[in-house]
Chain A
Amino acid sequence: MHGLVNRSFQLFVSDTFGREVWERSTQVAGISFVDFEGMLTYKETYTPRLIEGVSTILDRPAAEVLEDFGTFIVSHPKFEAVRRLLRFGGVDFVDFLHSLDDLDDRVRLALKNLNLPNAALHAAGENQFLLLCENTINGYCHVMIGVLRAMADDYGALVLLEHRGTQEDKEVVFITVVESNFAEGRHFSLGGGAYADAI
């Protein structure tokens, strides 16, 4: 797994629950070191073990932890670069939703070795969408829900998100855009790049 995923997860856990929780989680996961580097590659098995470790230590379902993780990487100031890169996807939230089809390709353009599962958006009625995520990475869909929640907030849109289980190897998220311009949203300008120094 790309170190960026583990590194981001580490920052999320130690920032939200404290360094000690992270250290204990790596122990529970049976990993002999504590700090991950964003620009190195690690064994595929580490990531699910780390997620399980954190879930055990916090006594919270993994799905819930992952959803918070998704929200964290979009809304935390240290990850401003992630928010900005996602905002390039569209001028409003619905536009952004449509850009999710290309998200894995876009990410690969930036980081050749970071292979995210493909996600495809399908219209499901007026202002309603189904996002079908390949389940090549366990729990990815829950991270996506957290990301979508934070991005809706960023765009100032009011949305409902619901995980609808798995259909034919794809995890399904049901999205209802209640109002596109519900709130002010956060400012975004194309030329305002403040690059992340955290990852």
Chain B
Amino acid sequence: MQMRSEALAILCPMHLLLDAQGYILQAGPTIAKVCQPEALVGKRFLDVFDLTRPRAIACFGDLQAAGAQKLHLKLRAAPHTALKGVLVHPSGDDSVIMINLSFGISIIDAVRDFELTNADFAATDLAIEMLYLVEAKTAAMSASYLLNMRLQGARIAAEEQAYTDTLTGLKNRRGLEVILSRLLKQNASFAVMQIDLDYFKAVNDTLGHAAGDFVLQTVAQNMVAETREQDVVARVGGDEFTVVLSEVNSEGVLRKIGQRIIERVEKPIDYQGHECRISASIGTVWIQPGEMPEISDILSDADVALYASKNAGRAMQTLYSPDLRKSSNLVGPQTERRQ
């Protein structure tokens, strides 16, 4: 059966007819457009196309002898577009070879590189549907992605709120526990300061809750100011604060920071013309590297040290040692640090 070249161009716009020596006799309109400005007819097939599979083909004779088969090719000229092909012997002998080409997965780049239009594809080709789907799915995916980003942002904001004390903006008890368990997991050396405001109740009782809230907010700001950037300040109760100091390398540093906090807290706070005077007592636990206490142990030890400070007359700081627990009248079991 002979087929007119016009009909072949409509059915297979990327076909090539080759003679027995491998020269191109006829080229479909789309493959001709792709190879522009090179004119395909008269060229040797293997000079224009680089055969990547089957790999065993060394010359055109090999290809001819191998019979009908699938081909993987590349344009030798830029942009070196990858092509798929199928080779047949339409007349049953070696006199003419027909190769039909398609873009395969390189279709997305090819339509852009060669400015292809609907008219460049056979009416039965699914290329347009594929392009449509790629675009539709990309648009849908990017909308989904944006939604996920928004939800993620909302989640982070909600978590941040849940770990934050709304009055002072400091971490709350939950936030503190997250930080402590992270430090313990890292096997880090750090210190925990339990700080109790002295005489705060008097402010609340005489000047009211608004004054109390103002004092707490001021104290919170001051504590953040007096600690280092890597330290965390949390408000864990009405007038109780906890400071977590990471990377502490001497007792001296701890005492210095504690002293600074006490001095700062003792500075009178002006609330609507009224002078509010408070102070602070501090109990500190220093976790040495290698120690692996529970969070509850740390907080309990810090409380023991804090009560020692309170008993010693307030505005004091005490560093925890096991001896303190023996002399304190706190009821509670001796904690055992696991090594």
Looking at the assembled complex, report how far the CB atom of B143 sits from the nearest CB atom of chain A, in whole angstroms: 5
Q: How large is the interface on B (under 10, 10 to 19, 20 to 34, 35 or more residues)?
A: 20 to 34
CB contact under 8 A between A196 and B108, given known A38-B147, A40-B147, A91-B118: no
Rounded to whole angstroms, the CA-CA distance of A193 and B109 in the bound complex is 11
Q: Is A199 an interface residue (CB 8 A)?
A: yes
Looking at the assembled complex, report how far the CB atom of A24 sits from the nearest CB atom of chain B, in whole angstroms: 24
CB contact under 8 A between A84 and B133, given known A189-B117, A191-B111: no
* CB-based contact B147/A193 at 8 Å: no
* CB-based contact B135/A193 at 8 Å: yes
* CB-based contact B135/A81 at 8 Å: yes
* CB-based contact B140/A110 at 8 Å: yes
Rounded to whole angstroms, the CA-CA distance of A106 and B132 in the bound complex is 9
Rounded to whole angstroms, the CA-CA distance of A40 and B151 in the bound complex is 12
* CB-based contact B132/A39 at 8 Å: no
* CB-based contact A191/B112 at 8 Å: yes
Count, chain A residues at interface, CB 8 A: 24
* CB-based contact B131/A81 at 8 Å: no
CB contact under 8 A between A110 and B112, given known A39-B147, A190-B128, A197-B146: no
* CB-based contact A190/B116 at 8 Å: yes
* CB-based contact B143/A190 at 8 Å: no
* CB-based contact B136/A85 at 8 Å: yes
* CB-based contact B143/A38 at 8 Å: yes
* CB-based contact B128/A88 at 8 Å: yes
Partner of B139, one of A91, A192, A196: A196
A residues neighboring B (CB under 8 Å): 4, 37-40, 81, 84-85, 88, 90-91, 106, 109-111, 189-193, 195-197, 199
B residues neighboring A (CB under 8 Å): 108-113, 115-119, 128, 131-140, 142-144, 146-147, 150
Counting from the closest, the 9 A-B pairs by CB-CB distance are A191-B112, A110-B136, A191-B111, A81-B139, A88-B132, A190-B111, A39-B147, A91-B118, A199-B143
